[in-house]
A = this chain, B = another copy of it.
Amino acid sequence: MVPRQPPKSRSELICVALRSAILERALQPGMKLPEDSLGERFGTSRTIVRQALERLAAEGLVELRHNRGAAVAMPSLEEAQDLFELRAQIEDLVIMRLAAGLTAEQEAALEAHIAREEEAQSGPEPISIRLATEFHILMADLTGSPVLARYVNEVAYRCGLTLSQFARPHSTVCGIQEHRDILAALKSGDVVRAQDIARTHLEAVSARAQFKGAEINGYSYLDALEPYASGVRNSG
């Protein structure tokens, strides 16, 4: 039973790895991303890395300065606020669709994810942070709309990046209970209430964040990247 190898290209895998690394704050805003060291680390040539970086730049996670290399994007505070506002607006649509009739499978998927969040609570903090964002991405996926999935995915990742830049080190971004509340509201079928709860949740997340001024330093990103890279190398 082959695990249904999805025909993902090598550069897509690198994208996924870098996105996770950014969301888990292993790669912090401002860190440089030279093509050849990444290529060496991921076991591929610069061309592939370049593709990945260009894609991430299109998504707003990476800044690509002409002839000056790539770096993890450093969104401004204004951008951060715009992103959260936009995200709430888009997720309204997601909530609306799910609340209109939550199937058993959808409910099970959301519960399974919350369970994983609970497990991760005792583990390393970056994992919890990533799972918290991915709960929202899962909701978007469950709508079955590629359009919603795509944009929630992108905006949520960018929000995660802004948190990495502006949030205090140990602010509790998680909010597992709030995810449980959202699920309950979805089950109730009350669209407006579900939207309210989700919106309040997002506002709480962004409010918990904006306290620390941006600080960029500490550069040993290559070691920080190792766990993400190995997954790509072993996939040939």
Binding site for B on A (CB under 8 A): 7, 9, 51, 54-55, 58-60, 66, 78-79, 82-83, 85-86, 89-90, 92-93, 145-148, 150-151, 155
Contacts and interface: CB of A to CB of B under 8 A. Distances in A.
A198 to B, nearest CB: 14
Contact of A89 (B7, B9, B92): B92
Chain A contact residues: helix, strand, loop or mixed: helix
A226 to B, nearest CB: 27
B55 A147 contact: no
Contacts of A155: 151
Given A58-B59, A150-B60, A82 B7 contact: no
Nearest to A149: B82
Contacts of A92: 89
A58 B60 contact: no
Q: Which of A9, A51, A93 has the most CB of B within 10 A?
A: A93
28 contacts: A7-B66, A9-B66, A51-B54, A54-B54, A54-B55, A55-B58, A58-B58, A58-B59, A60-B150, A78-B145, A79-B145, A79-B146, A82-B145, A82-B146, A82-B147, A82-B148, A83-B147, A85-B93, A86-B90, A86-B93, A86-B147, A86-B148, A86-B151, A89-B90, A89-B92, A90-B90, A151-B151, A151-B155
